[in-house]
Amino acid sequence: MTTMPAIRFLDRSTPPHVLTLILIAGISALNMSIFLPSLSGMADYFDVDYAVMQLAVSGYLATTAVLQIMIGPISDRYGRRPVMAGALMIFIVATIGALLAPTAGVFLLFRMLQGAVVTGIVLARAIVRDMVPQEQAASMIGYVTMGMALVPMVGPMIGGALDQAFDWHATFIFLALAGGGVLALVLADQGETIEGDGTGFRDQFRTYPELLRSPRFWGYTFCMAFASGAFFAYLGGASFVAQDVFGLSPVLTGLALGAPAIGYALGNGISGRFSVALGINRMILIGVGVATAGLFLSLVLVIAGLSGAFVFFAFCTFLGFGNGMTLPNATAGVLSVRPHLAGTASGLSGAFMIGGGAVLSAIAAAMLTPETGARVLLSIMLASTVLSGVAILGVMRRERKLSL
């Protein structure tokens, strides 16, 4: 398709409204971050070490990485609408199971099952690419993720407030109700965007080499993986830094954890406004430059002994701002390598992105101590962002060679 198809809200005979795309992606982002201010309290509740409860972050990310490999082909074969509805049903049941879990082991089992909701992020991107071509996709993904960015910004704040007013159980009640609301909206509004009967699994796997042999696919995928890896390292370590290094309360920790999302929303707005005019590769490079500069300056201030909680988290908005320009454009690039495999490409690239994030999250959590403070976390984030820049420079270098 070359133009935006007609869309009518709450009409499932047309493609889904942008609000629906924001919410199906946003419920996944909410599930990832809303309970972070409660991790220490949950460790006390279940009488386990903090490192065990941190598996609710790194283990969850690893689970969703595996799921994303499966979601793409399944949705390409059976359609976006039934796969999204089924995933939300699993999420609601798993959330209730986590709420009622008597032990940490049972909780972590249901927490992994909650990973089904990552379907929303995969399919929001694929649906956009079903509807519009590459440059328009980058712009539309930018607007979708700008709205979605509000979720991780307010999610930890909501979780921190619920934890302080009640306890961690209230957070999972909120998640179950939110999942039910999004499921109702999907059933009412999400029209199918796959034409025909989709692609069979045998045909899917036969075409995998076509996708995996593409240097552009790997370039954009590694760019996404390292850019988001910096954020996931933050996700794994920032709660510890906020509470154990800076001594913040659950509510203030929730407020602090939302700092990158403020920048992310602004960066997404810039992406939505300028991606068509500047091109996706240039926007990615600018985004990586902004994130790298902000993290480098923050690390310098920490080493110089000039950083406190406000300075540390304020500079983390630069990471969010840069990623807000980088990720929508890198996503549009990876989905456009083989447009007929948009769902598969979204799932595979997402698996690498989230899987790398799980590793960096675990590394950050393992290396942090009250003595190392924020320095180690910033170093991991900065290194990951620099590698993202190396990946997109490789894509641009190859495209220049092909144009000669």
Query: Is there a domain that residue 304 lies in?
Result: yes
Tell the residue number behind the tokens 């070490």, with chain if given.
49
Q: Report which DSSP code applies to 246.
A: S
Query: Is there a domain that residue 196 lies in?
Result: no
Give pLDDT, residue 146: 62
Query: Is there a domain that residue 239 lies in?
Result: yes
> How crowded is residue 99: how many other Cβ atoms within 10 Å of its Cβ?
17
> How crowded is residue 216: how many other Cβ atoms within 10 Å of its Cβ?
17
Query: Is there a domain that residue 273 lies in?
Result: yes
Residues of the domain holding 161: 18-191+204-403
Give pLDDT, residue 141: 67
Helices (H), 214-308: 215-240, 250-257, 259-278, 280-303
> How crowded is residue 388: how many other Cβ atoms within 10 Å of its Cβ?
29
Closest CA to 256 of 33, 29, 32: 33
Give pLDDT, residue 391: 93
Query: Is there a domain that residue 12 lies in?
Result: no
Q: Is the alpha carbon torsion for 34, 361, 114, 50 positive or negative?
A: negative
CA distances, 244 to each of 10, 95, 212, 309, 371 (Å): 46, 28, 43, 11, 10
Give pLDDT, residue 287: 94
- pLDDT (tens digit, 0 to 9) for every residue of the chain, 404 residues total? 445 567 777 777 787 888 888 888 889 888 988 888 888 788 889 998 877 887 888 888 888 888 877 787 788 778 888 999 999 999 999 999 999 999 999 999 999 999 999 888 878 877 877 776 655 666 666 667 666 666 766 788 889 889 888 989 999 999 999 999 999 999 998 888 776 555 556 666 676 777 777 888 889 999 998 998 898 888 778 878 887 788 888 888 888 887 887 888 788 788 878 877 788 889 999 999 999 999 999 999 988 888 788 888 889 899 999 998 998 888 888 877 776 666 667 767 877 887 787 788 778 777 877 777 788 899 999 999 999 999 999 988 887 877 65
How many domains would you assign to the chain? 1
Query: Is there a domain that residue 5 lies in?
Result: no
Query: Is there a domain that residue 8 lies in?
Result: no
Assigned token pair, 276: 């068509």
Assigned token pair, 10: 């709450």
Give pLDDT, residue 299: 92
Query: Is there a domain that residue 368 lies in?
Result: yes
327: left (phi over 0), alpha (psi -120 to 50) or beta: alpha
Assigned token pair, 184: 């109702």
Query: Residue 117: which CATH number?
Result: 1.20.1250.20
